[in-house]
Amino acid sequence: MANIPHSMPPVAHLATSSGDGIYGALKASKEWIAPTDPKVLKKIQTWQDQKFGLLLTWGTYSQWGIVESWSLVTTRYPWNKRPEKYASLSDRAYMQVYENLPKTLNPKQFDPEKWAIAAKNAGVKYILSMTKHHDGFCMWDTKTTDYRITSKDCPFHLSPQADVIKAMCNSFRKHELSSGLYFSKADWHSPYYWMPELGPGSNQGPNFDPKQHPVEWQKFKEFTWRQIEELMTGYGPQDILWLDGGSVRPPDAAIDMDGMAAMSRTHQPGLIVVDRTVAGPNENIITPEGEIPDHYLPYPWETCMTMGNSWPWHPNDNFKSVGTLVHNLCRIVARGGNYLVGIGPDANGEFDPTVYQRLEGIGAWLKVNGEAIYSTRPVQPYEQKDCVFTRKKDGTVYAIVQSQADTEGLPESVTLPTEIASRVQKAKMLGVGTVKVEPNGTIHFSDSMRAQTANGYAWAIKLTLKKV
């Protein structure tokens, strides 16, 4: 039985995940290149131990309950509809209305302590806070633009927690959650990215050719670097810089990512840089969006997926069940990845009540079964119809039995693969007790055990194996 090493070889791996993410997301990269900085490699190892994170999507658009800032582009899709009240406006007029949203942004219920406690109780280990989306509105006290939450035009600037990024980062670290920052390289508010005289663009990219306007593009690069340096110096220790906006890439729209990553790491040693969808040395983690790769992948990767149907808050959203979230987590971990779940507060700064219910449900499951998830790596044969498999560094293997439906309960029996069954010395179901493994690898579950585990989602069996 081959074990997957906890350390990573410094070579390039082809990525097999190539599907489109939701809402027009760019495809995941097809190549991963291992970093050469030992501090970065060590931090990636720690991140791979954490397994479960949250991405908080929040901006002025949360007042309308729409798909982030995507309604600004001139190309219409079913998913980026504009509010009916403004649907007939011209693109320029709509942008003016949209960019007035800061004047009504006043999330008086904003309570990052409440979020941090809910996340920690859910078994979350790291949180990415959205500093700005493609619309360029800054959720921190930047000195680079007035288009920010601390501007005097925004009612929330009077709050002692007006710099919401600082407040969130402080609360998350206080509760021992790793902190990372989402940052969009694309910035549709910047006159050096979308030139005002040309109007809104048709897609995520700049509305001009940077090679034909090198002066403007140089100003945009300098602007972006200043913003990143603010975030790297004024908001405490950061573990991840998660860069969205994959249209900002060489050769046509380069901003010297090598230099920017190096600058960031002078302030945050070992920082994981995720230049999403831009294959190369600055994409330390591959991030398939809205999908789970269908098999084990031999490099660091993370499925980023919404808890509901939308990244930000959306009225009457349809949230995944606790069972689905648990099953996703188990499958992802068994295939070598992390699970980054996207949720968003509403205009008042509060999560949907269902979000708290789902987090509580995942937390209850992880309190019993977390040792089969955290600080594990995949182990062959990775999974079978009714089980997925993980292992600890000391060689302990876990068979996680999964129900086929949320309320189906524990099956009558499960049969372990031969390469695992032949080495079992003892077996214990976490939170339940000892189970017997037959010589052929079958485990029969008693009626009392099945009654005790009714209406569950997955059950971890800890297997102590003979040394090879």
Question: What percent of the chain lies above the pLDDT cut of 70?
Answer: 94
Looking at the domain assignment, is residue 5 inside a domain? Answer: no
Whether residue 128 is found in the same domain as residue 231:
yes
- Encode pLDDT of 339-388 as tens digits: 999 999 999 999 999 999 999 999 999 999 999 999 999 999 999 988 99
From 372, 403, 433, the end of a domain falls on 372
355 and 383: one domain?
no
Q: Is residue 7 part of a domain?
A: no
Same structural domain, 317 and 339: yes
Query: With bands split at pLDDT 50, 70 and 90, how would you rate the model's confidence at 447?
Result: confident
Instruction: State the CATH number of the domain containing residue 111.
Output: 3.20.20.80
Q: Which of 349, 372, 395 is the last residue of a domain?
A: 372
14 confidence band (pLDDT: 50, 70, 90): very low
- Give tens-digit pLDDT for 276-327: 999 999 999 999 999 999 999 999 999 999 999 999 999 999 999 999 999 9
Report whether pLDDT(224) > 70: yes
pLDDT for residue 100 is more than 70: yes
Q: Are residues 197 and 267 in the same domain?
A: yes
Task: Evaluate whether residue 351 is within a structural domain.
Answer: yes
User: What is the mean predicted confidence (pLDDT) over 144-166?
Assistant: 98
Do 350 and 416 sit in the same domain of this protein? Answer: no
Name the pLDDT band for 9 (thresholds 50, 70, 90).
very low
Number of domains in the chain: 2
Domain residue limits at 93? 12-372
How high is the pLDDT of residue 31?
84
**Residue 278 falls within a domain, yes or no?**
yes
- In a shared domain, residues 362 and 381: no
Is residue 44 located within the same domain as residue 127?
Answer: yes
Of 372, 398, 420, which marks where a domain is finished? 372
- Asked if the structure places residue 232 within a domain, the reply is yes
- The predicted model gives 102-131 an average pLDDT of 98
Residue range 125-150: mean pLDDT, rounded: 98
Query: Is residue 388 domain-shared with residue 460, that is, in the same domain?
Result: yes
Work out the pLDDT band at 70, boundaries 50, 70, 90.
Answer: very high
Asked whether residue 3 is domain-assigned, the answer is: no
pLDDT category of residue 5 using cuts at 50, 70 and 90 = very low
The verdict on 368 and 390 lying in the same domain is: no
Structural domain contains residue 4: no
In a domain, 452, yes or no: yes
Q: What is the pLDDT of residue 29?
A: 79
For residue 251, is pLDDT > 70?
A: yes
- Find the mean pLDDT for residues 404-415: 84
| pLDDT score at 399 | 98
**The pLDDT value given to residue 24:** 53
Q: Say if residue 2's pLDDT is above 70.
A: no
- 84 and 165 in a single domain? The answer is yes
- Asked if residue 4 has pLDDT above 60, the reply is no
With 60 as the cut, is the pLDDT of residue 93 above it? Answer: yes
Q: Is beta strand 387-391 parallel, antiparallel or unpaired with respect to 377-384?
A: antiparallel
Residues 451 and 425 in one domain: yes
Of the listed ranges 121-135, 246-260, 454-468, the least confidently predicted one is 454-468
Assign residue 449 the CATH number of its domain.
2.60.40
Q: What is the mean pLDDT of the chain?
A: 93
382 and 309 co-located in one domain: no
